[in-house]
Amino acid sequence: MNYPKLTDLETDHPQVLMAVEAIREWQARKRAGETGISMILAGPNGIGKTHMATAMQWSMMFRPEDTMAWEDEATVPLDSDFRPLGRFYTAADLLVQLGPHISDDGRVLPSPVDYFVGDAPIIVIDDLGAAISMPFVKGDMQLDEIQVRLFLLIEHCMKRTKIVRDWHVGTSDVVPDPPSLVITTNKDIGG
């Protein structure tokens, strides 16, 4: 089975190497049983943010019988019963899904945030920066309303996680509480 690993990321860029080190710390904390450790991966296009976020999701795997297994980036092949644990969304797709839905009786209902979060121990929202600037309208809902829903989803996760670890700024504050939220963006979010 082929899945992204941090060891597959070839780079000598100091900020990317710093991000990889922060992810390794994140993986070690998760292995130690800490939950709710979140991270924002910010940087220019093409440096491997999506690869790193996907590797984070795949670093926690489960078998259908729910036995946890930690991928330690060894070259030991895993059988095909392993699956990534958590949820992976591109921000653009998530924005579309967060639009209103029509109930059986014709009422317009908002999408329930818990549907997108569930009990996942890790949620990846990829390419937030691109989604924020998308020029589209879904039905009668304006883009800014959809963006508000996206940020409500993020706020919902953050209330449960209580932490953002921002390697771009270099700050962290760990307060255990699931799930982990991983966001990638090409927008500058720190100093």
* Residue 132 located in a structural domain: yes
* Residue 53 located in a structural domain: yes
The better pLDDT of the pair 157, 47 is held by: 47
Domain containing residue 53: CATH number: 3.40.50
Question: Taking a C-beta distance cutoff of 8 angstroms, is the pair 144, 85 a contact?
Answer: no
Q: How many domains does the chain have?
A: 1
pLDDT at site 142: 60
pLDDT tens, residue by residue, 84-127: 567 788 877 777 776 666 677 877 666 666 666 666 667 788 88
* Residue 76 located in a structural domain: no
Among the listed residues 41, 87, 94, the one whose alpha carbon sits nearest the alpha carbon of residue 179: 87
pLDDT tens, residue by residue, 141-187: 565 666 676 677 776 665 554 333 333 333 334 333 445 667 666 65
* Residue 40 located in a structural domain: yes
pTM: 0.61
* Residue 169 located in a structural domain: yes
* Residue 148 located in a structural domain: yes
Residue 93's domain spans which residues? Answer: 20-69+81-185
* Residue 8 located in a structural domain: no
Q: From CA 126, how far away is CA 152, in angstroms rounded?
A: 16
**Band of the pLDDT at 54, cuts 50, 70, 90?**
confident
